Amino acid sequence: MRNIKGFMAIVAMGLLALLPLKWAQAFGSYLGQRIIKQGEKNKLYHITQRNIEHCYPSLSADEQQSLIEESLRQTGYSVSEMGMSWLWPVNRTLKKIVKVDNEVIIKQGISEGKGVILIAPHLGNWEVLNLYLSNQYKFTAMYKPPKQKQLDNLIKRMRARLGTEMAPANVQGVRKVMKALKRGEMVGILPDQEPEIEGGIFADFFNIPALTMKLLPQLASQTGAKVVCGYAERLPNAQGFHIHFVEAEKEINSKDINVATQAMNRSVEECVNALPEQYQWEYKRFNTRPEGAKKIY
């Protein structure tokens, strides 16, 4: 069954890759509207609603509803852009990047010789960000391999088109990332997914305790690498993408793991607050709760 699902996903991406970005995004908008019409009967709608209610309690009911609906349309875009991100010729995809802000902080980090850790939240189009960084720098990306073997093979092959080293989220992958940092290179880690219990610690995210990875701040503490947040903003009307780089809070390099993970989550929050409608709110970020805490989903 997994093989069939993987094959069908690849076929769908191949069909989406035949479309220009404007048409692909129009299809993505249609997917988002379908979810919106289903309302709370749809799991993605329900999760998005709960996350936004908890993370933006100061918004009025109408403002929350508007953010929920726009977020789901953006979720549709993320799905429909997979063909472009993974299967288009690299140069064709890179031409869709129309602006890059604050890249100087990455160049400074590389010049200091301790490496750069790129925090890449699930915000905007992170595959476009990966392609840009792979085209500019020696880059190692940590990732969680999917269960479908065909998809895993495709991800490794397509993300590595420009020389990106892929590091699975396991002991071997951590060693690979450490070696890259010791060489003064850049590594990319997605910081906003729940780790295994033994690899995480509860730290506030939008004032809610969230099981948060310890790996990234531990790497920052051990290596002294500069930590930078990056995301590729999706511009309206298929105009392309605007890449932003923002330096993470200094305390992310702290040897106190509690202080460091809080700093990491605040750094991610800063990026999300700049572009809340393009964040992956359909993910159960608060699925694991502290003992005695009420479930959110």
| 163-191 confidence digits (pLDDT tens) | 778 777 788 888 899 999 999 999 999 99
Average pLDDT over residues 21-46: 94
- Given this model, what pLDDT does residue 154 score? 66
Of 273, 295, 285, the residue nearest 210 (C-alpha):
285
- Given this model, what pLDDT does residue 170 score? 81
How far apart, in Å, are the Cα atoms of 255 and each of 184, 205, 206?
Answer: 20, 20, 23
- Given this model, what pLDDT does residue 11 score? 75
Q: Is pLDDT at 205 greater than 80 in this prediction?
A: yes
φ/ψ of residue 256, rounded to 5? -85, 110
Q: Which residue has the higher pLDDT, 75 or 161?
A: 75
Of 214, 276, 224, 231, the residue nearest 120 (C-alpha):
231
Angle at 286 between CA 281 and CA 290, to 5 degrees: 170
- Given this model, what pLDDT does residue 271 score? 97
Cβ(228)–Cβ(118) under 8 Å?
Answer: yes
Rounded-to-integer distance, Cα 46 and Cα 24, Å: 25
Rounded-to-integer distance, Cα 171 and Cα 146, Å: 17
- Given this model, what pLDDT does residue 268 score? 97
Three-state DSSP at 256 gives: coil
* pLDDT tens column, 256-282: 999 999 999 999 999 999 999 999 999
Q: Is pLDDT at 156 greater than 70 in this prediction?
A: no
- Given this model, what pLDDT does residue 237 score? 92
Q: Is pLDDT at 3 greater than 60 in this prediction?
A: no
Structure token pair of residue 210: 């969230």
Provide the terminal-to-terminal Cα distance of the chain, rounded to the nearest Å. 27
φ/ψ of residue 248, rounded to 5? -70, 160
- Given this model, what pLDDT does residue 253 score? 93
Cβ(106)–Cβ(186) under 8 Å?
Answer: yes
Cβ(268)–Cβ(213) under 8 Å?
Answer: no
- Given this model, what pLDDT does residue 12 score? 76
Q: What HEC string does 94-133 produce? A: HCCEEEEECCHHHHHHHHHCCCEEEECCCEECHHHHHHHH
Q: Is pLDDT at 149 greater than 80 in this prediction?
A: no
Q: Which residue has the higher pLDDT, 51 or 158?
A: 51
Q: Helix 43-55 vs helix 21-38: angle between axes, to the nearest 10 degrees?
A: 90
In our burial notation (b when 16+ CB lie closer than 10 A, e otherwise), range 78-115 reads bbbbbbbbbbbeeeebbebbeebeebebbeebbeeebb
- Percent of residues, the chain, with pLDDT higher than 70: 91
Q: Is pLDDT at 127 greater than 70 in this prediction?
A: yes
* pLDDT tens column, 74-91: 999 999 998 888 889 989
* pLDDT tens column, 7-16: 576 677 778 8
Q: Return the beta strands (E) in the chain as ranges.
A: 97-101, 116-119, 139-143, 165-168, 186-189, 200-205, 208-213, 226-234, 241-247
Q: Is pLDDT at 148 greater than 70 in this prediction?
A: no
- Given this model, what pLDDT does residue 78 score? 94
- Given this model, what pLDDT does residue 14 score? 78
